[in-house]
A and B are shown apart, each in its own frame.
Chain A
Amino acid sequence: MSGEIFFAVAGMGAKTRGTALVAKDGFSARYDLDRVRGIFSRPDHKLAGENFVGRVLVLDVAMSPLPGCSTT
Chain B
Amino acid sequence: MNLTAEEQALRRGEFGEAAQWAIEHQIKVGDYLGARDFVAVTSAHVMADTESLGEAGVEWLEGLARLPAHARRVRIFTITDPRGADFAAAHRLKQQPWMLELEQRAIAALEALGVLMTNTCINYQTIMAPVSGEHVAYGDTGVVVYCNSVCGARSNFEGGPSALAAALTGRTPRYGYHFDERRRATLVINVRFTPCELNDWGALGAIVGRLAGDYWQVPALVGIERVPTSDEMKHFGAALASYGSVALFHMAGITPEARRLDDVLAPGETVADHEIGEADIRAFARAYAVDAVDVVVFSAPQLSLMELAQVATLLDGREARIPLLVVTSPQVKADADRIGMTMRIEAAGGLVLAGMCFYQSYAREMAEANGWRRLATNSAKLVNILGGYGYRPTLLSMPACIDAACNGGRLSRRR
Residues of A within 8 A of B (CB): 10-12, 26, 28, 30-36, 41-45, 61-66, 69-72
Contact = CB atoms under 8 A, between A and B. Distances in A.
The secondary structure that dominates the A interface is loop
A62 B245 CA distance: 8
B181 to A, nearest CB: 15
Interface string B26-65: 0011011110000000000001010010100000000000
A34 B216 CA distance: 27
30 contacts: A10-B34, A11-B32, A12-B32, A26-B245, A28-B245, A30-B385, A31-B242, A41-B388, A44-B387, A61-B214, A61-B215, A61-B245, A62-B215, A63-B215, A64-B245, A65-B156, A65-B216, A66-B32, A66-B162, A69-B159, A69-B160, A70-B47, A70-B159, A70-B160, A71-B47, A71-B139, A71-B158, A72-B52, A72-B121, A72-B359
Given A45-B388, A61-B214, A72-B81, 15 more contacts: A12-B28, A26-B214, A30-B385, A33-B388, A36-B364, A43-B388, A44-B387, A61-B215, A65-B157, A65-B175, A69-B157, A69-B160, A71-B139, A71-B157, A72-B121
B140 interface: yes
Interface in B1-31: 28-29, 31
Contacts of B388: 30-34, 41-43, 45
Nearest to B216: A65
Contacts of A41: 388-390
B141 interface: yes
A65 B388 CA distance: 21
Contact of A66 (B33, B47, B54): B33
Contact of B162 (A36, A63, A69): A69
A12 B29 CA distance: 9
A32 B28 CA distance: 26
Contact of A63 (B52, B139, B156, B245): B245
Nearest to B389: A41
Contacts, number: 90
A16 B121 CA distance: 36
B360 interface: yes
A71 B141 contact: yes
B33 A65 contact: yes
A5 B28 CA distance: 25
A72 B32 contact: no
A72 B215 contact: no
Interface string B163-183: 000000000000110000000
Interface in B81-133: 81, 121
Contact of A64 (B52, B159, B385): B159
Contacts of A35: 54
Nearest to B217: A61
Nearest to B34: A10
B387 A65 contact: no
B397 interface: no
Contacts of B121: 72
Given A10-B34, A61-B215, A65-B215, A72 B141 contact: yes
B228 interface: no
A12 B387 contact: no
A63 B140 CA distance: 11
A10 B159 contact: no
Contacts of B54: 35
Nearest to A27: B245
A35 B32 CA distance: 26
B161 interface: yes
B176 A61 contact: no
Which of A33, A34, A35, A72 has its CB near the most chain B CB atoms (within 10 A)?
A: A72
Nearest to B142: A72
